[in-house]
Amino acid sequence: MEKVNTLSRPPAVLYVGPAGWSYPDWIGPVYPRTGMIDRLLYIARFFNCVELNSSFYRTPSEKLTASWARRLASRTGFKLTVKVLQRFTHQRICPEAEVKRFIHSFDPLWEKDLVGAFLLQFPWSFRNQPENRELIRNLGAFFQDFPTAVELRHGSWEEDATLCLLGDCGLSLCNIDQPRIGDSVGPSQHLTNREMGYIRLHGRNKKNWFNQDAGRDARYDYLYNRDEITEWEQRARMLLSSAKNLFIITNNHFRGQALVNALQLKARLLNRPQEIPPQLLQAYPVLKEITVTDPFELDLE
């Protein structure tokens, strides 16, 4: 990888935010229990990006993406990152027409410069095998005109050839944090495309990560401590020194813990205190260390 002259290039743009915004268990610790609010806009007040999760399960209608574009129009600099349909990454069924339809369903957001990246998230069962490397090449080709990150969870991908494969395809490796169990990928700070670095933090809940009886909430029930946040702050700074953009997505969503850790990372990396959702500060007093104001003074409209 060629050396980057960090003295002559503009500073990287940092995007930090949670994976998703619509969780029932966020009512109370994140959203007020009373009153009607636009939850997407509420989260967009405190973060400059959110990863879209619903697109993993179904292709959204252009009417829906146009609604997001209209609602986010006033949030200057805000980006949605898009988790690509699991039919392509998990079921490995990728008809060209269907992939293109998925991509173009986000045209209303692209027109308003509201999409940060696509994310191709592959499951732990997706091993480093010839047919899977070929799938990355073929599926990645559809996304070559867009910033796109690839998440690989199995440890068989931890080799230089993987970085070369993604770099040759113009794809960014998604650096992940997950419970270290068996052949799972460990934390990293790789940059395979200078245009964009990508980080996703899933938590370290070893007890429930591979527990088939555990629900989604139990699997992602984890709050990173200060030392663990410091680890990722250091990795993020390394990526920021070389990438043009860096996305940090927190996926330990249960009871708003993703927001806590996202705000902590944002405060450290930007070196400034943060505006904190009032309910979140009440639920997680540790955030008093980084709050910019009395939460009860905030206008929630």
The pLDDT tens digits for 242-286 are 999 999 999 999 999 999 999 999 999 999 999 999 999 999 999
Residue type, 276: I
Residue type, 185: V
What pairing do the DSSP bridges indicate for beta strands 245-250 and 13-18? parallel
Whether residue 97 contacts residue 138, with contact meaning beta carbons closer than 8 Å, is answered with: no
Is 5 within the bounds of a domain? Answer: no
pLDDT at 293: 67
Between 245 and 209, where is the model more confident?
245
Mean pLDDT of 48-60: 97
The answer to pTM > 0.85 is yes
User: Does pLDDT of 3 surpass 60?
Assistant: no
Whether residue 221 contacts residue 205, with contact meaning beta carbons closer than 8 Å, is answered with: yes
Tokens of 54: 């619903």
Is 4 within the bounds of a domain? Answer: no
User: What is the Cα–Cα distance from 164 to 246, expressed in whole angstroms?
Assistant: 20
What percentage of the chain has pLDDT greater than the value 90?
85
Is 199 within the bounds of a domain? Answer: yes
pLDDT at 31: 95
Q: How confident is the model at residue 133 (pLDDT cuts 50, 70, 90)?
A: very high
User: Does pLDDT of 213 surpass 80?
Assistant: no
pLDDT at 1: 38
Is 2 within the bounds of a domain? Answer: no
Residue type, 289: E
Is 8 within the bounds of a domain? Answer: no
Is 268 within the bounds of a domain? Answer: yes
What pairing do the DSSP bridges indicate for beta strands 115-121 and 13-18? unpaired
Domain span at residue 24? 13-295
- The closest alpha carbon to 167, from 146, 142, 194, belongs to 194
- The closest alpha carbon to 131, from 122, 144, 143, belongs to 122
Whether residue 53 contacts residue 19, with contact meaning beta carbons closer than 8 Å, is answered with: yes
Between 33 and 51, where is the model more confident?
51
Q: How confident is the model at residue 194 (pLDDT cuts 50, 70, 90)?
A: very high
pLDDT at 5: 45
- What Cα–Cα distance (Å) separates residue 133 from each residue in 33, 137, 151, 152? 47, 6, 13, 11
Q: Where are the beta strands (DSSP E) in 202-238?
A: none
Is 118 within the bounds of a domain? Answer: yes
Is 7 within the bounds of a domain? Answer: no
Mean pLDDT of 70-91: 97
User: What is the Cα–Cα distance from 185 to 152, expressed in whole angstroms?
Assistant: 8
Question: Which CATH number do you get for residue 210?
Answer: 3.20.20.410
In the DSSP assignment, the letter for residue 293 is S
User: Does pLDDT of 102 surpass 90?
Assistant: yes
What is the count of structural domains for the chain? 1
User: Does pLDDT of 297 surpass 80?
Assistant: no
